[in-house]
Structure 1
Amino acid sequence: MPRHEKINYVEFASLDLAASKRFFASAFGWSFEDYGPDYAAFSDEGLDGGFFRAEAAGRTERGSALVVLYSDALEATLSKVEAAGGEVVKPIFDFPGGRRFHFLEPGGNELAVWGEAAAKGDVP
């Protein structure tokens, strides 16, 4: 149930709607419901949302908000992102809350994935 005055839905612009759908289905197992040729919605992926066909996409260097996913297995998720056609633009790095990487999905949006800090003795 939606919560009063809390983030409820996110919409991403996509330079290539079909490629965005293929990427998120392949890398993360998301499914979509099409609403005409220019919009596809996803649900129950941590937050509901959708992709719309556009001539621009979100990048942090342009001031866009950064959507960050969580992973229990950061390196494995990075491999899935690459195998699905994502472009890693910031390899895994440490930050005060753990580790993360940034990637571009084929529709042009920059997202990130974070995970817990590696345990001592683990190979990052």
Structure 2
Amino acid sequence: MTTKNTINYIEFHARDLEATKQFFGSVFGWTFEDFGPDYSSFSNQGVDGGFFRSEHASCSDTGAALIVLYTDEIENLERQIVSAGGTITKPIFSFPGGRRFHFTEPSGNELAVWTEPAED
């Protein structure tokens, strides 16, 4: 059931739609449903969304919203992202709520990953 007045769907640009789908599938286990050659959707990832073919990319430095994902294995996920063709743009750093890093996926969209603070 759709909840009124909540974030319901997020759409991303994708320069290389197939590479983007492969990246998110291999690193995060996402599955996709294609709607023609220029659009692919995902669901059950916290919020549903999709990727559409475009030469643009989303980056927080240019004013775009930053999508932040959660993990409980931040170092492992950082390595997986690099192995799958992502680029780390801000290595793991601490912030008041925990630790996080930023990356770009093969189409150039910037996302971040966070986890709780490291235990002493």
Query: Are residues 1:2 and 2:2 paired?
Result: yes
Aligned to 1:63: 63
The 5 A counterparts of 1:17-96 are: 17-96=17-96
Report % sequence identity. Answer: 57
Counterpart-to-counterpart distance in 2, 1:51 and 1:44: 15
1:101 counterpart SS class: strand
Counterpart-to-counterpart distance in 1, 2:117 and 2:75: 12
1:10 counterpart SS class: strand
**C-alpha displacement of 1:61:** 1.1
Q: Would you say how many aligned residue pairs link Structure 1 and Structure 2? A: 120
2:81 counterpart SS class: helix
Counterpart-to-counterpart distance in 2, 1:85 and 1:29: 15
* Length-normalised TM-score, structure 1: 0.95
Q: What are the ranges of 5 or more consecutive residues in structure 1 without an aligned counterpart?
A: none
2:76 counterpart SS class: helix
**C-alpha displacement of 1:79:** 1.1
Aligned to 1:97: 97
Query: Are residues 1:119 and 2:107 paired?
Result: no
Q: Deviations over 1:66-87 (max 9, x none)?
A: 0000001111111111111100
Counterpart-to-counterpart distance in 2, 1:68 and 1:77: 13
Cα RMSD (Å) of the superposition?
A: 0.6
Counterpart-to-counterpart distance in 1, 2:18 and 2:73: 27
**C-alpha displacement of 1:23:** 0.4
* Length-normalised TM-score, structure 2: 0.98
2:11 counterpart SS class: strand
Counterpart-to-counterpart distance in 1, 2:34 and 2:51: 10
Counterpart-to-counterpart distance in 2, 1:63 and 1:105: 18
**C-alpha displacement of 1:42:** 0.3
